[in-house]
Amino acid sequence: MLKVNNLNVYYGGIHALKDINIEVNEGEIVTLIGANGAGKTSTLRAISGLTPYKTGEIFFKDKAIKNIQPHKLVGSGIGHVPEGRKIFANLSVKENLELGAYLRNDKDGIKKDYEMIYDKFPRLKERMSQLSGTLSGGEQQMLAIGRALMNRPKLLLLDEPSMGLAPIVVKNIFDTIQEINKGGTTILLVEQNAHMALSIANRAYVLETGNVVLSGSADALLKDEKVRSAYLGE
């Protein structure tokens, strides 16, 4: 579904991504792990068109997507839940979800998807009319995921969904990520909680200073001594 070939991203004179190669097959959960500044967020932002890349190619469903505007990539089936959630704080929960469905005009389908989101996240239904900026961090994360799902993405990019959340909320978010995947959405997950990420992923890539230094099945990386000492605190 997604193929990233020899991707290079620069921020001024800083070479942030260095010949990154990543593949995500349909139906998988693939995770990118690594320390802060390793290039994980830059990779997701390049895929969704938010960060330009100097050289390399990104293919989504066998089509090159360089220089395609972000909103057109959303229309083609790429959803992005950004780091820090980026909800519209001055709009209600319902209005945020409406914006997620902005490119759609199938009213019956949209109505069903509201119910699907409220079924997954009952707290959002309770707070449907509440201003999003007044939600807790966990509720805002649920809303950010729900907003992305309202466009029925084929590929969902998730950037640090557990950041700043209590352990019980993190477990709920990860259970929901698995549910979304079982429902047919392919997922590329960036996550600092490497143990949680590897426990639900099919495959993983380890990034260090803009390079992919290790890749393989999530099970294999969970058992890898270097990964265990560097990222799992073991």
The residues spanned by each domain of the chain are: 2-87+154-231
- What is the average per-residue pLDDT within 118-133? 91
Give residue 234's pLDDT. Answer: 54
Cα-based torsion angle of the residue sequence 117, 118, 120, 123 in order, rounded to the nearest 10 degrees: 130
- What is the average per-residue pLDDT within 195-217? 94
Amino acid at 2: L
The 10s digit of each residue's pLDDT in 44-92 is 999 999 999 989 999 999 999 998 999 999 999 999 999 878 899 999 9
Gap between the Cα atoms of 212 and 215, Å rounded: 7
Other CB atoms within 10 Å distance of the CB of residue 76: 15
Ramachandran category for residue 191: left, alpha or beta (phi over 0 → left; psi -120 to 50 → alpha): beta
With bands split at pLDDT 50, 70 and 90, how would you rate the model's confidence at 219? very high
Per CATH, the homologous superfamily of domain 2-87+154-231 is: P-loop containing nucleotide triphosphate hydrolases (3.40.50.300)
The 10s digit of each residue's pLDDT in 150-181 is 999 999 999 999 888 888 888 888 999 999 99
Q: 69 φ, ψ to 5°?
A: -65, 145
Directed axis angle between helix 93-100 and helix 137-149, to 10°? 30
3-state secondary structure 9-60: EEECCEEEEEEEEEEECCCCEEEEECCCCCCHHHHHHHHCCCCCCCEEEEEE
Name the nearest CA neighbour of 147 among 81, 91, 92. 81
Q: 73 φ, ψ to 5°?
A: -70, -35
Gap between the Cα atoms of 137 and 28, Å rounded: 27
The pTM is what? 0.93
Query: Worst-scoring range by mean pLDDT, 15-24, 59-68, 101-110, 215-224?
Result: 101-110
